[in-house]
Amino acid sequence: MRSRGSSNRLPNSGGFGFHSRISALVLSMFATMATIYVAARMWQDAESRVYLIQQLHTTTALGNSAISVDNKLKDEACREQEHKLSALEMDLSAARQEGFVSKERPENDSTRSKKRLLAVIGIITTFGRKKNRDAIRKAWMGSGAALRKLEEKGIVVRFVIGRSANRRDSLDREIDNEHRQTDDFIVLNQVEAPEESSNKIKFFFVHAVESWDAEFYVKVNDDVYVNIDTLGATLSAHSDKPRVYMGCMKSGQVFSEPTHKWYEPDWWKFGDAKSYFRHASGEIYALSRALAQFISINRSILRIYAHDDVSAGSWFIGLDVKHVDERKFCCSPSSTG
């Protein structure tokens, strides 16, 4: 019985060993498959990392290229600005020698080939004063061929007038007809009125300096006789000075009463003494080219007063300007020179 029992247990023991070997084999297979799976994933991850690194390098290279192009553009812009700055510095240097900023003219401007005029004279006139204008044409200005001959000598003379407040009315038509006959007017786009006299003078200088290249620009009233030869000699004597304001220098009382003929609305600006600063009398005065250019450049911010001669004098207060008290310019309303 025992030996039979013993013989019966031996196969049971062998079966258990067989199953253990199968389990170990299965585990080994699972372990191998897991190892292969993990290795495959790691290989894929490595490939992904290589790809990402390559893409990063590509992107970085493109980024460097973009930055490089941008830097080149910036360098080009900087060089262009440097050229402009250099040109401006040269213009500024030239302007300092002139006195103020000179008006830029095109290279092909015919005025560059012409000799600079000595003077442009503006005779300030108004409506209803044709007799005065005719008298001036006969006395010293000339007309037609005589006027052109005077221009050949370096002096341009024109009557200066504005437009009627009622545009194209009979007053404007009379001036237009006279101008067609004589061709000796500067007609400003400015209302012709006594209260606009300071603006009229300002825009005469603006128009004159932008139309003619001259050493001097002269304002004259239409009741003044001018000796052209004497005027020319006087101006020539000061042509070596860059900033000249020439006239019969005077001062005068500032009137604060509104009913007074010479009432000054801004009287309080002239202090308790109520006296105008020194300025050229309004009958005739001359400005060098640099001062006329200064008026042209700063036309929009120049303050005007009740009287045109005071306004003109005020524009040069605080500037490095040579005030020339020329006694030949001191006159009655009948003659000068």
pLDDT of residue 210 exceeding 90: yes
Q: Rounded to whole angstroms, how far apart are CA atoms 187 and 114?
A: 25
- Tell which wins on pLDDT, 150 or 107: 150
CATH number for the domain including 141? 3.90.550.50
Structure tokens at 243: 């900033």
Lowest mean pLDDT across 31-45, 261-275, 293-307: 31-45
Longest CA–CA span in the chain (Å) reads 172
Mean pLDDT of 169-175: 96
Q: How many domains does the chain have?
A: 1
pLDDT mean over 290-318: 93
State the Cα–Cα distance between residues 74 and 61, nearest whole angstrom: 20
Evaluate if residue 103 carries a pLDDT over 50.
no
Give the three-state DSSP class for 84.
helix
Of 3-12, 52-61, 157-166, 180-189, the least confident: 3-12
Higher model confidence: residue 82 or residue 197?
A: 197
pLDDT tens for residues 227-240?
Answer: 999 999 999 999 99
- Write a three-state SS string for 98-151: HCCCCCCCCCCCHHHHCCCEEEEEEEECCCCCHHHHHHHHHHHHCCCHHHHHHH
More confident site: 320 or 253: 320
| Residue 305 pLDDT grade (very low, low, confident, very high; cuts 50, 70, 90) | confident
pLDDT for the residue numbered 86: 74
What pLDDT is attached to residue 29? 76
Is 13 a domain residue?
no
What range does the domain containing 301 cover?
Answer: 117-329
Could you tell me the pLDDT band of residue 41, with boundaries at 50, 70 and 90?
A: low
Q: How many CA atoms lie within 13 A of 208 on its CB side?
A: 38
Left (φ > 0), alpha (ψ -120 to 50) or beta: where does 323 sit? beta
Q: How confident is the model at residue 55 (pLDDT cuts 50, 70, 90)?
A: low
Asked if pLDDT for residue 327 goes beyond 60, the answer is yes
Residue 104's pLDDT band, with cuts at 50, 70 and 90, is very low
For residue 321, pLDDT over 90 is answered with yes
pLDDT over 60 (residue 64): no
84 found inside a domain: no
Residue 82 pLDDT level (bands cut at 50, 70, 90): confident
- Strands 214-221 and 279-288, bridge-based pairing: antiparallel
Averaged confidence pLDDT in the chain? 81
Distances (CA, A) of 114 to 120, 239, 288, 325: 15, 18, 19, 31
Residue 11 lies in a domain: no
Strand partners, 250: 279
Asked if residue 330 has pLDDT above 60, the reply is yes
Structure confidence by residue, pLDDT tens digits, 105-145 = 444 444 444 789 999 999 999 999 999 999 999 999 999 99
Decide if 15 is inside a domain: no
Residue 129 lies in a domain: yes
Mean pLDDT is lowest, of 14-28, 71-85, 144-158, 237-251, for 14-28
Segment 241-290, tens digit of pLDDT: 989 999 999 887 887 878 887 788 877 667 666 777 889 999 999 999 99
Share of the chain above pLDDT 70, in %: 69
Residue 287 near residue 245 (C-beta atoms within 8 A): yes
Task: For the chain, report the end-to-end CA distance as a whole number of angstroms.
Answer: 169
Does 54 reside within a domain? no
- Give the model's pLDDT for residue 81: 73
Give the per-residue pLDDT at 318: 87
Q: Say if residues 102 and 199 touch (Cβ distance below 8 Å).
A: no
Domain annotation covers residue 173: yes
153-178 mean pLDDT: 96
Fill in the DSSP letter of residue 335: -
